Chains A and B, each alone.
Chain A
Amino acid sequence: DTAVSQTPKYLVTQMGNDKSIKCEQNLGHDTMYWYKQDSKKFLKIMFSYNNKELIINETVPNRFSPKSPDKAHLNLHINSLELGDSAVYFCASSQEDRDGNTIYFGEGSWLTVV
Chain B
Amino acid sequence: GNSVTQMEGPVTLSEEAFLTINCTYTATGYPSLFWYVQYPGEGLQLLLKATKADDKGSNKGFEATYRKETTSFHLEKGSVQVSDSAVYFCALSDPGSSASKIIFGSGTRLSIRP
Is B34 an interface residue, CB under 8 A from the partner?
yes
Q: Is the interface of B mostly helix, strand, loop or mixed?
A: strand
Cβ of B106: which chain A residues have Cβ within 8 Å of it?
41-42
Cβ of B87: which chain A residues have Cβ within 8 Å of it?
41
Q: Is the interface of A mostly helix, strand, loop or mixed?
A: strand
B96–chain A nearest beta-carbon distance, Å: 9
Cβ of B89: which chain A residues have Cβ within 8 Å of it?
43
0/1 string, B33-77, CB within 8 A of A gives 1: 010101000111110010100000000000000000000000000
Q: Is the CB of B46 within 8 A of A102?
A: yes
CB-contacts of B78-101 with A (<8 A): 87, 89, 91, 93-95, 98-101
- In the complex, number of A-B residue pairs with CB atoms less than 8 Å apart: 70
Is A94 an interface residue, CB under 8 A from the partner?
yes
Cβ of B43: which chain A residues have Cβ within 8 Å of it?
4, 90, 105-108
CB-contacts of B6-44 with A (<8 A): 31-32, 34, 36, 38, 42-44
List 18 A-B residue pairs with CB atoms under 8 Å apart, sorted by A's residue number: A4-B43, A30-B99, A31-B100, A43-B44, A43-B107, A48-B99, A48-B100, A96-B95, A98-B51, A99-B95, A100-B31, A100-B94, A100-B95, A101-B93, A101-B100, A102-B32, A102-B93, A103-B46
Instruction: Show the binding face of A for B, using Cβ within 8 Å.
Output: 4, 30-31, 33, 41-43, 45, 48, 50, 55-56, 90, 94, 96, 98-108
Question: Apart from A50-B99, A99-B93, what 4 extra A-B contacts exist at CB < 8 Å?
Answer: A41-B107, A94-B99, A94-B102, A107-B43
